[in-house]
Structure 1
Amino acid sequence: MAAEFTTVLVLHALNYQGQNILGENWADFLLDLRQGLAVKGKEDPASTESLLLFSFAQPDVACIALLENLARLKKVYEWKENFGPLPLHIVLHLEKEGEPPGSVHDPAAIFWDLLHYEQPYATPSLKQQWPEGQAGENSLSHTFAEAGNGLYLLSLSIPEVPRVEIFPHRALPLAGSFSPCFYCGMTTHRPADCPGKMLTMATQGISLAGYLPLEKLSELFGKAMSAQEKLANTMASGLTVSQVRQSPILQVYLAYFDLNLVYQPRFLWNIAFNSSSKWEELTKPDMVSVDSHSLHLGLDCLRVGQHAQAEDLFVEESRRPKGKQFYATIGRAFIALELERDNDLEHFLEHAAIMANSDKEKIYIALLQSRYYALRKDHWKAGHALDTVFSVRRDLSEALYRQVQLMVQGDMSEKSLRQLRALVVDRKELFIAALMDPQLLAVAGPVEDLLSVRLQVQRQEAEENLVKAQEVCQDLQTWFAEEASPATLFADLSGLETQFAQGSYYDLLEVAHKAQALLRACYRLQENTLDAMQADIAGMTATWDSFRRYWQEYPYQSFFVNFQEILENGRQKLNEIEGLAKQNMHGHLYQTIQERLVQVRESCDALKPLAARMAWVRIVCDGAKLFGRKLLITEIALLGLGALLFPLLAFWLGGDSGGMIELLTNSWLQRQALLIVTLFVAPLFALAQTLWEMMDT
């Protein structure tokens, strides 16, 4: 089918009628349907609760995705034949790129009321193009029948495809002849011989196994189950965190034991010496402080199978003032478990339940009791024990997952799957737990379908976020010169691309999260860059304004015609820059603005030496004019004074000194005196006055 055409799947949901059939689960049903369709298609932003819009590359892909998801979700939500068809109107339409929305986009259109529930219809445009849209031979058989209103009733036949298990080794832990181990659930050993006793809180594998692709994870699980003796010996010799990180098969094997971490001696040790009262903080190593030697030593003896010594130490701890009686009692319960004294085990668990004071103690003992009763097939008591947990914490994931296991054992598979779906979304470790857990063997197929959809949804989310990050980073590269490019961001993007290619569930989760963080970092960088650009523009404008004001006030503009030309060119470029800065910013536009700013900056740099010369010219010219005025005034004053001084002196001396009078009346002497005053005295006085006045201004 041509690239400009898209197959649009339109689902018109009648929510009121849907609630009459599925009750309060109708909204969850639609949400799960949207997530399932989003695996193969893309939901339109205009999609609403009553009108779901999805785009697909091929019409048969849209039909297969719809029918498979409807069939799966009907089982999950316990739909029965006598309920009647679900109130969904279905139309497939071929939409051309750029074409305005048609009537199928209008949930209030009249033709919807004429369609049958759950029956797919096709528009004429799709019917004409369908043969061209086939994805492969014999993939989907279809027929059309006229239905009126310009629509065709579409009849589909999907060939059955054998289901391929994504994790076929789920039953291997139950291949033994013993009862399920309290600590780990395996039937290949007794609790006293459980390899999980050798583990510590630091040697966990579930946080690492999720980074393995599902195919590799399944393969390694099968190998681990067939090499348990060798792996158990490795664990007994003492594991280090480094060993676990370097061995994928160890990670997978330990991940299985982590499924039941709460029921193992290592968790008892952790909770007993953890100072935090919050359940979520029990896994933090910095909160652990060994403050009871007898309890610590007793747990160590329990680990190596020295039951008598462990019993004595636990009794000693119980009798010690301010001792940890609650945890010592659970330690004695574990001893009874390993010695197969079931009555003592139940007694100690019940006694510990009475002693529990804090919320974490109540939660812990209730989980242990639920585990104990479930292994004894007493599902009512197991569920009742969980009620104690829910009275303290309704949202505790360990209790909710335990409830899922009980639902499966109690033939409540549909309800358990709905609850499991929500748990897997909220906590990534439960994805691996649901994949491996043999207690979910009865619903292995639906669980794998659920996990497959979840993996596809997560892959799509990661891919969408990664594509956005790639587009932004690609645009960001055009914002900066090579020497100034944000290399750290591009290195992060390269790491995300590599991580996405690995395809594991944990990798996809991290890619989705880190790609969002990378996007935020890119946007912050762009915002900071734009702020700096605006500051540069404002700075250049202020500089230009200062030169403009200087030019307007300059009295000798005719001497510097080129100054005005440079000034006008700078203003023109600034106008261009301000206009460009108001547009939607992208890399090439940003580079254009930067080039213009460089030109304006060069213009301003060229004006600076001109302004300096202009300043000197102004000083010289203003000084010359001032000196001329001062000189003229000084000469007039001195000449006038001289003209008066000679007659006055002659009159004042009278006849007392004939020689002096003759000297004063000598014309040659008068001319010489006037010459000296004009050429020397007056200029000196005028220069002094000029310098003094210019220093003041």
Structure 2
Amino acid sequence: MYNLSVLLQSLPHIQQSRLVGSGYAAWLSWSGAPNTSMAHTLKDYGGVLMAQDTGQALWFFPGMEVFRAVARLQIWSRLNAMPMLCQVVPATFLVGYDFALSLSLSPELTDQQANPGQDFAVWIHPKLKEAVESIPGLDLKPGPGVTGFASSVQWLQFHADQGLDYETSLGWFFVIKPLGKLGDKESILVWRGFFSEIQTALQRLDLKYISDVRDGYVIFPLGSVRLLRAWCQEMLNLTASVKEGGREYWPCVMAAVPQKGLTFSAELPKKVGLDWERLAPDYPHLQYRDAFPLAEWFKINEIRHGVDQEGLETWCNLSLKAGEGRGGEGSLEVPLPRKLTVGEGQGCFYCGLKDHGPATCPTRGLTRIAPEVWNKLATVNMDALVAGLQTLEKSLEPSRVAASLEHLAGGGDKLENLLARAVFEINAPSQLRILQLVWRSRGKEWSTGLSQLAPEDAPYAWASLEAVRGGDLDRAESMLKQASLKYMRSYQPPSLLGFVALEKGDAHQAGFYWQEAERLSYTPLQQGYFLYLQGRVLEIQGEFKEASSLFKRAASVSPDWLDPTYREAVCLVKMGFTGQGMDILERLIERDPNIFNRILLDMELDRGRMQIMGALFSLWRVAETKCEEEKALVATLSSEVAQRFEDGHAFFEPAQERLERMRRLTERRNFVAFRTLVSGVDEFAAEMNTQVETDIKRIRARADHYYDRLREIQREAAWFPFPKLLLEFNKDFNFCVEKMNWMRDQHLKVAENFRKTLRFLGEIEDRIGRLQKRLVTLRIVRDSTLFVLLLGRTFIWLEIIGLGLALVTIPLLIYMTRQAPGNWLVTLILEQKWEFQKGLVIILSVLALALAAVKTAFSFEKRKRQLFERKEQEFQDRVQARRAAMKGGAPGTGKAQTRTPAKPLVKSPAKPPAKPGAKGK
């Protein structure tokens, strides 16, 4: 035996239903293999398969077609034996917010069991007797009790007259209406080109149609569920292929209207309770009762045009499931709160909500803009955003949506509060708080204009603004008209008079006032703003084409202001040209990724939301894929920074902070975070490469500088006369030479080599500093030694010359003066000749030493320079000769020789490096 509870338990449990409808449940059980004709018949009669198990299935029918279906099966079973038991009972149809389907039955029916016999038998719940007997040829008779059925119910046995065919009464008139006004030649030609594609499909399916030349309607009947399904697939695939192929395309709205009570005529679209101007283009629209039987092949999407509570007769639209056919790539699932979108009319001028007018809009009391709202939303994960919108939906009171939204916007920092503020921020340029900033703005462009504010002047203007906010429109209008007469060249009075006229309900007059304000404006910022207001007031009146033109003008006047272009896209979507609008929105997203989140929350884009969510899904998927690639790159960059730069480097700490921010971005599932991460990684990589190139240039410059310093140190130290005393000096010098030779041979862009080079440069600088400090002592010893040698040589020569002169002069003096009378000097010299000789030698030596010291002191630097230059030149000559010999005598062996001083006073400890060459680049 089969148990109905098994099927009921397999259905999803729906805690909160978006839709509840009454209908009929058919529980079928059979023995053996299931008959395929049974399932096809039930589907053709509008049945929805709810659950299936071995030997049993549960179907739901929204109407009495279930009785015609089982009648058809019963007649067919009389010719083809079909052991099956069928029970039809009243049921409640439940639909969750995710379009999960479930059934609810009376408690006494849920634990029934069934044991199919050898024939096809149908049992009907007694509550359905009247519905069954209303169909000609169907009859109910009391029968014996069935084992396992609910004993408290007096079951009736179903009988169908074999003489009737019981064809389904299901049928639809499918209506296609091109959007826009087909008045201009270009529109007519494009629509005809697209209609030729539709006409080909109609002929292939052998469908007869009629068309209304004036309004462009195309109407044709569809007489079965199979034909309805085939045509919906045909249209969805055709629209997608035309768009992808670049063929003639014109957006159209489509609806399958039930045939009951309607006649096949050109007046049919006017008799249907549908607002054709608000339907989403390119998607077939059906009632839920007709759409659920097609749920196996299509995705069902809600539309919320003035409907607060949905039922089986509520309209929805169909799209291809992801991966099925053309155009079924996927869509973002971000449902807006229903309470924000319901209502009639075009919406409030200030905020776009449809449940109030401008005079009662909550945004009238706001005094400052809040662009930080979008920065905060950029940190919210997509899943959290969807949950926040659901929470916002529960927090809004149906009878006072605007008031409850205002209360949430002024609340705390919860996500629903942030979302409420974002809803009011979408249309901020249309609100009074922007007007007061425009009055005070000193700038000419929007990029900086609202941040360069002058003090408040024109007291009448601010008093009038407060009167408008306080609701005293008459007083404000009186003050402003007096100010207009007094300040005839001022744009402020007409700018606020436009808002006064708007709140009084005269949108046409408001547009005239803003035209006057535009004429009196003198900066692009002001002109663009008043063009924007003119476009917005036309948009609210439904003049989307004219509004779009004004938004284009505003964008051309203020090209760095994105809001006019955004509103131009919104107007196109409201007209039904969602593809063209989405092209504009995608360009805006490239300029500012926050536009993505703005689109998700904009209830004024509701008409084209299906197409927009599909397009945004493509952008999301690309950005998400790129972000996944960038995650690995962030880790690579972190590792490279750690390998390349040390803690003390000026680039290290800022780089670590930026990489940490990017690492946190990789954890967020938000489009803005994706785009910020991608651009941030690219920018960081470029900055790091620039830093590396700069550091390499500095390394080369420092290496050249150290090279010259080492050369100088080598030249100075090479003349030191006591080489065995230079052990520490030679150790430091050799270290510098070794490291600089290593740097010369390495590729500095390699992270490890780069970091080692920076560390070695610091060590080399320290060592060179020590060498130069020691070189001071070496110079003193060297110069002192050289001075003494030069002094000694000069002294010896002077001494020799002095003694020679004394040897010649003194005897000659004695000889010439020996005959002179009273020559006591000669007598004294002769008597004390040894003492005189010693004294003379001492005097000559002192004089020679003094003269030598003076002469050496005056000529020391010149002599030293001549000596060093001569030796250096001799060394260069020998090097050149050696190189010439190597080139001429041993070709191909031209190794670079490093110069060292010839015959140095001190042997050089190591050769200094060559200047860094190409290998360091």
Q: Secondary structure at the match of 1:652?
A: coil
AA aligned to 2:786 is R
State the partner residue of 2:468.
Answer: 302
More divergent stretch after superposition (561-570 vs 312-321): 561-570
Match of 2:384 among 197, 216, 220: 216
CA distance in structure 2 between the aligned counterparts of 1:643 and 1:623, rounded to whole angstroms = 30
**Shift of the alpha carbon at 1:168?**
0.9
CA distance in structure 2 between the aligned counterparts of 1:688 and 1:450, rounded to whole angstroms = 101
Structure with the larger strand share = 2
CA distance in structure 1 between the aligned counterparts of 2:533 and 2:471, rounded to whole angstroms = 20
Q: Does 1:673 align with 2:840?
A: no
Would the aligned equivalents of 1:570 and 1:600 in 2 still touch at CA under 8 Å?
no
Distance 1:420 1:184, change over 3 A: same
AA aligned to 2:857 is M
State the partner residue of 2:358.
Answer: 191
CA distance in structure 2 between the aligned counterparts of 1:262 and 1:597, rounded to whole angstroms = 57
Match of 1:292 among 454, 458, 473: 458
More divergent stretch after superposition (515-524 vs 397-406): 515-524
What does 1:169-180 correspond to in 2, within 5 Å? 169=336, 171-176=338-343, 180=347
Q: Does 1:353 align with 2:515?
A: yes
What does 1:463-478 correspond to in 2, within 5 Å? 471-472=636-637, 474-478=639-643
Distance 1:235 1:226, change over 3 A: closer
State the partner residue of 1:649.
Answer: 817
CA distance in structure 1 between the aligned counterparts of 2:782 and 2:752, rounded to whole angstroms = 40
Distance 1:500 1:675, change over 3 A: same
TM-score when normalising by structure 2? 0.51
CA distance in structure 1 between the aligned counterparts of 2:359 and 2:237, rounded to whole angstroms = 42
**Shift of the alpha carbon at 1:685?**
1.8
Match of 1:694 among 852, 856, 860: 856
CA distance in structure 2 between the aligned counterparts of 1:323 and 1:212, rounded to whole angstroms = 48
Would the aligned equivalents of 1:570 and 1:603 in 2 still touch at CA under 8 Å?
no
Would the aligned equivalents of 2:443 and 2:452 in 1 still touch at CA under 8 Å?
no
Q: Does 1:201 align with 2:368?
A: yes
TM-score when normalising by structure 1? 0.66
Match of 1:445 among 583, 586, 610: 610
In the alignment, structure 1 segments of 5+ residues that lack a partner are 1-70, 84-156
State the partner residue of 1:167.
Answer: 334
Q: Does 1:576 align with 2:741?
A: yes
**Shift of the alpha carbon at 1:395?**
8.0
Would the aligned equivalents of 1:171 and 1:441 in 2 still touch at CA under 8 Å?
no
CA distance in structure 1 between the aligned counterparts of 2:796 and 2:418, rounded to whole angstroms = 99
Distance 1:533 1:641, change over 3 A: same
Q: Does 1:416 align with 2:578?
A: no
Distance 1:72 1:633, change over 3 A: farther
CA distance in structure 1 between the aligned counterparts of 2:556 and 2:761, rounded to whole angstroms = 68
Q: Does 1:539 align with 2:701?
A: no
Q: Secondary structure at the match of 2:819?
A: helix
1:17-63 residue CA offsets vs partner (Å, 9 max, x unmatched): xxxxxxxxxxxxxxxxxxxxxxxxxxxxxxxxxxxxxxxxxxxxxxx
CA distance in structure 2 between the aligned counterparts of 1:571 and 1:281, rounded to whole angstroms = 55
CA distance in structure 1 between the aligned counterparts of 2:621 and 2:457, rounded to whole angstroms = 48
Distance 1:76 1:213, change over 3 A: farther
Would the aligned equivalents of 2:498 and 2:513 in 1 still touch at CA under 8 Å?
no
Q: Secondary structure at the match of 1:184?
A: coil
1:238-263 residue CA offsets vs partner (Å, 9 max, x unmatched): 988xx77x454333212112222232
State the partner residue of 1:274.
Answer: 441
Distance 1:535 1:411, change over 3 A: closer
Q: Does 1:489 align with 2:651?
A: no
Distance 1:446 1:168, change over 3 A: same
Would the aligned equivalents of 1:577 and 1:593 in 2 still touch at CA under 8 Å?
no
AA aligned to 1:501 is E
CA distance in structure 2 between the aligned counterparts of 1:591 and 1:274, rounded to whole angstroms = 55
Distance 1:81 1:642, change over 3 A: closer
More divergent stretch after superposition (383-392 vs 350-359): 383-392
**Shift of the alpha carbon at 1:576?**
1.4
Would the aligned equivalents of 1:220 and 1:249 in 2 still touch at CA under 8 Å?
yes
AA aligned to 2:601 is M
**Shift of the alpha carbon at 1:621?**
3.1
Would the aligned equivalents of 2:346 and 2:541 in 1 still touch at CA under 8 Å?
no
State the partner residue of 2:877.
Answer: none
Would the aligned equivalents of 2:646 and 2:755 in 1 still touch at CA under 8 Å?
no
CA distance in structure 2 between the aligned counterparts of 1:694 and 1:489, rounded to whole angstroms = 61
AA aligned to 2:672 is Y
State the partner residue of 1:22.
Answer: none
1:55-93 residue CA offsets vs partner (Å, 9 max, x unmatched): xxxxxxxxxxxxxxxx9998397246989xxxxxxxxxx
AA aligned to 2:427 is N
CA distance in structure 2 between the aligned counterparts of 1:441 and 1:405, rounded to whole angstroms = 10
**Shift of the alpha carbon at 1:218?**
2.9
**Shift of the alpha carbon at 1:435?**
1.0
Higher Rg: 2
State the partner residue of 1:312.
Answer: 478
CA distance in structure 2 between the aligned counterparts of 1:661 and 1:165, rounded to whole angstroms = 131
CA distance in structure 2 between the aligned counterparts of 1:408 and 1:202, rounded to whole angstroms = 26
CA distance in structure 2 between the aligned counterparts of 1:535 and 1:252, rounded to whole angstroms = 56
If asked which structure has higher relative contact order (CA below 8 Å, sep 6+), I would say 1
Distance 1:328 1:222, change over 3 A: farther
Would the aligned equivalents of 2:501 and 2:509 in 1 still touch at CA under 8 Å?
no
State the partner residue of 2:232.
Answer: none
State the partner residue of 1:127.
Answer: none
State the partner residue of 2:801.
Answer: 633
Q: Does 1:256 align with 2:423?
A: yes
More divergent stretch after superposition (509-518 vs 301-310): 509-518
AA aligned to 1:672 is E
Would the aligned equivalents of 1:367 and 1:385 in 2 still touch at CA under 8 Å?
yes
Q: Does 1:75 align with 2:240?
A: yes
Q: Secondary structure at the match of 1:651?
A: coil
CA distance in structure 2 between the aligned counterparts of 1:165 and 1:663, rounded to whole angstroms = 131
More divergent stretch after superposition (619-628 vs 461-470): 461-470
AA aligned to 2:482 is E
1:500-522 residue CA offsets vs partner (Å, 9 max, x unmatched): 42343333444444444544543
Would the aligned equivalents of 1:664 and 1:670 in 2 still touch at CA under 8 Å?
yes
More divergent stretch after superposition (585-594 vs 412-421): 585-594
CA-atom RMSD in angstroms: 4.2
Match of 2:673 among 501, 507, 516: 507
Would the aligned equivalents of 1:76 and 1:414 in 2 still touch at CA under 8 Å?
no
AA aligned to 2:801 is I
Structure with the larger helix share = 1
